[in-house]
A and B are shown apart, each in its own frame.
Chain A
Amino acid sequence: QQQVKQSPQSLIVQKGGISIINCAYENTAFDYFPWYQQFPGKGPALLIAIRPDVSEKKEGRFTISFNKSAKQFSLHIMDSQPGDSATYFCAASNTADSWGKLQFGAGTQVVVTP
C-alpha cells in the first residue's frame, strides 16, 4: 500500500508555463517532505524539502506548498524550462525514525516543450 499518493503520472507543459505536481499522505507521523528530481540514467537528487511547521517554501523557481490539515503538499515549477524535463518524486518520512526511511510517491514525468 503506497503511503504517499502522487499525481499526475505525467505532465506536458510549454516553456515558461507552470508545472504543478500534487502529493497526499495518510500517516500523520510524517514530518519531513522532500522532493527529488531524477534525470534519465541518473540517481534522484534532492530538489527542495519542507517541514509541516511552514505552509510554503520557495527556492528559485521551485515552490512547495503544504496543507497540514488536508495532508497534502505540492510542487510548483514556475517559468518551466526544457532543462526541467525529468521525473519528480515526492517523498515523506518520520524524523523520529532513526533509520531515515523515505516513502516515495509513484513519480511524475514532466516534459517541457520548447
Chain B
Amino acid sequence: DTEVTQTPKHLVMGMTNKKSLKCEQHMGHRAMYWYKQKAKKPPELMFVYSYEKLSINESVPSRFSPECPNSSLLNLHLHALQPEDSALYLCASSPSGGANYGYTFGSGTRLTVV
C-alpha cells in the first residue's frame, strides 16, 4: 500500500459546525503532515507530527485542532471556521521527519465553509 487516503473528499460546513478530516497511511511512515492549499497557490504547511507527537504548529488558529491517534492515522478537527478557511486540505507522510525521504500526498479534502 503506497497511498495516503483522505476522507471525506468534499466537505461543506457552516461556520458553527464541528467536523473532522481524516488521513490514513499504511506505509509505516513516522512523519505526517497537514497542508492547506488555496486555488492556484502552493501548499502551506500547517502541522507536522513526528512519531505521533506534534512537532510543528505553523501558528495555525486554534479553530484547527490536529490529532494523531496512532502511527497510521491523522485527524484534523475543525470548529467555528471562517469562509476564508475554504481550501484544499492535504495530508502527507514521509518515512521519517525528513523531506528528502520523499513526501507522499493524499488527494485532499476540498473544504467549503458557508
Contact = CB atoms under 8 A, between A and B. Distances in A.
A43 B97 contact: no
Contact of B97 (A31, A98, A104, A109): A98
Interface of B: 4, 31, 33, 40-43, 45, 48, 50, 55-56, 90, 92, 94, 96-108, 110
A43 B45 CA distance: 14
Contact of A46 (B40, B102, B110): B102
Interface of A: 31-32, 34, 36, 41-46, 49, 51, 87, 89, 91, 93, 95, 97-102, 104-107, 109
Nearest to B104: A46
8 contacts: A34-B99, A34-B102, A41-B110, A44-B90, A93-B98, A101-B45, A101-B99, A105-B42
A93 to B, nearest CB: 4
B107 A44 contact: no
A100 B99 contact: yes
Contacts, number: 78
Given A89-B42, A105-B42, A106-B41, A99 B31 contact: yes
Given A98-B50, A99-B56, A100-B48, 8 more contacts: A41-B108, A46-B103, A46-B104, A93-B100, A97-B98, A100-B97, A100-B101, A102-B99
B40 A43 contact: no
Contacts of B45: 101-102
Contacts of B104: 46
